[in-house]
Structure 1
Amino acid sequence: MIALLLALGSSLAYGCADFLGGLGSRRAHVLRTVLIAAPASLAVELLMWPLLGARFEAGAVAWGAASGVASAGAFALLYRTLAIGPMNVLSPVTALVSAVLPVSVGLLQGEHLGAAALVGLPLALVAVVLVSAGSADGTARVTRPALLLAFGAGAAIAVQLVCLHQAPTGSGIAPLIVGRAVTSVLTLAAAALRRRHLGPERPAYALALAAGVLDSAASVLFLLAARGGDLAVVAVITALYPAGTVLLARAVLAERIHRGQLAGLGAAAVAVSLLALA
């Protein structure tokens, strides 16, 4: 139950972070947003170091660095995805892709699910699909490049989560600290190489900072949840984060929530209840 609650918290934080990061990337080049979000995430994790501890052993550093490379790609691809297309469609597509690989890895590693989980797990995946079932408004079409970016972002997120899960259990938040440091360095290097293409627009500092802080909180919650529960269950609960993104997009951007999406939100609630009984 604790792992489930942590995964739900991670899902909510990821959803809010994605919305804010995507919104900020509509005002300036995506790299300008990530240049603020990634270091902000690192700062939060450094502040958590005394509380949660960190052991920088070889496995933690290696898996953390790998997660950092994936995270850099996830940041850029996801924020760009949400900046160019309707959030209420592209965010769920990304989430569905991001759930498949961790779930598969968990099951291949021998995780055994109870009867309730065997029903709740596929229902949760169906919920993600339903949340994305609503078509965009007539003024906001979903393009092929946007869908490709969404799939790429989902794959990067999946690799990041799997790498974090593979890090040694006793390493504390060392994998996250290493990962955020790598992400920050890669983002800085990319921005330096593409500085002539970043445009004159100033980034939305508050949005980018808040996105980074929330993304860090989400990652910490996921790491704790994955260490206390099954990766297959934790990953699919975390993948429900589009619910938060969709609701915020409705409240702030007036994006419509369609019947299919409402059904998806209901299915998510039932799936979480079943997984809580597992």
Structure 2
Amino acid sequence: MIALLLALGSSLAYGCADFLGGLGARKAHVLRTVLVAAPASLVVDLLVWPVLGAAFTPSALGWGAASGVASAAAFALLYRTLAIGPMNVLSPVTALVSAALPVAVGLLQGERLGAAGLTGLPLALLAVVLVSAGSGEGTGRPSRTALLLALGAGAVIALQLVFLHQAPSGSGVAPLITGRAVSSAVTLAAAGAMGRRLGPERPAYAVSAAAGGLDAVANLLFLLAARSGDLTVVAVITALYPAGTVLLARGVLAERIHRGQLVGLGTAAVAVGLLALT
């Protein structure tokens, strides 16, 4: 139950981070947004270091660095995907891919689900599609580039989660700190290589920093959840993050929640209840 609650918190934080990151990427080049978001994430990880501790073993450093490379790619691909849209087509693609790969890894590593889990798992994946797809009204067909970005974003998000899960359970937040340091360095190097091609527009600093901070919270909650529960269950619950985006859009932007999304939220609640019984 603790792992489930942590995964739900991670999902909500990811959804809020994506909402803010997508907004920030519309005001300037996506790398300018990530240049603010990634260091902000590192600051949050450093703040929790004295509380949760960190053991910088070779294994923790290695898996943390791998997650950092994936994180840098995830920031850029996801924010770019959400910026160009259509969101109600691309978001479920990203979420499903980000859930499917860790679930496959968990099953290959020997994790097993009971009857409730085997029912709740596909329901949760269905909920991801319903919640993130919206009504579809006035939505155009996504370009090939946008679809490839969504697939890529989902894949690197999945890799980031798997790499974090592989880090030693006694390493504290060392994998997170290492990962954020690496992702910040990779982003800075990429921005330096692009130079003037980034354009003159300044990023939305506050929004981008908030997105990075929330992403750090989401990663921390996921790491704690994965250490106390099965990756198969934690990954699929975390993949419900579009629900956080939808609820934030409803509360902040007064966007209407469509019937399909309401069904998705209800389906998600049933799926979480079933997965809690595993």
Query: TM-score by structure 1 length?
Result: 0.95
The offset of 1:246, in angstroms, is 2.3
Letter in 2 for 1:46: L
| Matched ranges for 1:1-278 at <5 A | 1-138=1-138, 141-252=141-252, 257-278=257-278
- CA pair 153-196 structure 1, distance change in 2 beyond 3 A: same
Query: TM-score by structure 2 length?
Result: 0.95
Letter in 1 for 2:57: E
Q: 1:79, 1:237 → 2: CA distance? A: 21
* Count of equivalent residues: 278
The offset of 1:254, in angstroms, is 6.1
Letter in 1 for 2:263: A
Instruction: Tell me which moved more, 155-164 or 117-126.
Output: 117-126
- CA pair 184-259 structure 1, distance change in 2 beyond 3 A: same
The offset of 1:184, in angstroms, is 0.1
The offset of 1:203, in angstroms, is 0.6
State the Cα RMSD in Å. Answer: 1.5
5+ residue gaps, structure 1, are: none
The offset of 1:113, in angstroms, is 1.5
Question: Is the contact made by 2:132 and 2:243 (CA closer than 8 Å) also made in structure 1?
Answer: no
5+ residue gaps, structure 2, are: none
The offset of 1:135, in angstroms, is 4.8
The offset of 1:251, in angstroms, is 4.7
The offset of 1:51, in angstroms, is 0.5
Identity of aligned residues (%): 80
Question: Is the contact made by 1:93 and 1:132 (CA closer than 8 Å) also made in structure 2?
Answer: no
**Could you list the per-position Cα deviations for residues 61-91 of structure 1 after superposition, in whole angstroms to 9, with x for gaps in the alignment?**
1111110111110000000001111333322
Q: 1:249, 1:142 → 2: CA distance? A: 22
Q: 1:98, 1:33 → 2: CA distance? A: 22
The offset of 1:269, in angstroms, is 0.8
The offset of 1:134, in angstroms, is 3.6
The offset of 1:132, in angstroms, is 3.9
Q: 1:251, 1:84 → 2: CA distance? A: 23
